[in-house]
Amino acid sequence: MDKKIALIKFGGSVMTPNLPDKDYIKKFIDFIERLREQYRLILVAGGGGINKKYNKLAKQINPKISNKNLDWIGIYATRLNARTLISVFGDQCYPRVISNPIQKIEWKQDLLVGAGWKPGWSTDYCSLLLADNLKADKIIIATNTDYVFDKDPNEFLDAKPLEKISWDDLRSMVGDEWTPRMHIPLDPSAIRFGQKNKYQVISLNGRNLENMEKAILGKDFIGTVIGT
């Protein structure tokens, strides 16, 4: 029987909050080893701290820098993170970074790594496009919060965790406009795509690998189901 496919949008906030987190990446390799018997995995890298630092620097040098150029910096940060993942995974991984999530892809390995494509959105949208292209059975957004909350938990102490949220409600919360390095549960293009195609997406804390394993294997987990 063919293995199932899970796509994990690996938030930059998880893998590279500053520089790549060596201990975490090592644990992640073990996590993948455990899952490989049942699942092939698509990992889509976010930009994280590297994006943040270079965006800040570029803005300081040129305060009039366009959003498009800020996004391009982010895209290359995601590609650097993706290339780093491919390098540490070695032969078990498809050897090239997938930058265009709608291209025809033939992969035989257990792992494939994607990154940013074009300005105007984040790798959240790339993740949904790639999941659609490769017919992933599960889509996980691995980020730095345990849940999607009713408002930003880093800003509001009384933010309430949500175990589920509809696409309509998430869209009302996030709005339709993207700006570079927006800190939101899912970017507006991803929300529109998920809503239109009636996808179900799980958002959870990517630092808790045991919990992520449970979510992929269909067991009880801590996190938010988007699109119920």
Ligand X SMILES: Nc1ncnc2c1ncn2[C@@H]1O[C@H](COP(=O)(O)OP(=O)(O)OP(=O)(O)O)[C@@H](O)[C@H]1O
Residues that bind ligand X (CB under 6 A): 11-13, 46-48, 51, 122-123, 143-145, 148-149, 151-154, 183-185
Residue 122 or 127 having the CB closest to Mg ion: 122
Q: Where are the beta strands (DSSP E) in the chain?
A: 4-10, 39-45, 111-114, 138-143, 148-149, 161-162, 164-165, 201-205, 224-226
Report strand pairing: 148-149 vs 161-162: antiparallel
Closest separation in Å from C-beta 82 to Mg ion: 15
Work out how close the CB of 155 gets to ligand X at its nearest, in angstroms, rounded to a whole number.
7
Residue whose CB is less far from ligand X, 51 or 189: 51
Q: Choose among Mg ion, ligand X, none what residue 154 binds, the Cβ cut-off being 5 to 8 Å by kind.
A: ligand X
Which range of residues in 60-68, 106-114, 117-125, 167-175 is near Mg ion by CB under 5 A?
117-125
Structure tokens at 220: 């009880």
Smallest distance, ligand X to C-beta of residue 132, A: 19
By a kind-dependent CB cut-off of 5 to 8 A, residue 211 interacts, out of Mg ion, ligand X, none, with none
Choose the contact partner of 224 out of ligand X, Mg ion, none; CB within 5 to 8 A by kind.
none
Neighbours of 137 (CB within 10 A): 13
Distances (CA, A) of 200 to 18, 48, 76, 86, 186: 30, 24, 28, 27, 13
Residues 65 and 72: their CA atoms lie apart, in Å, by 11
- The contact set with Mg ion (CB under 5 A) reads 122
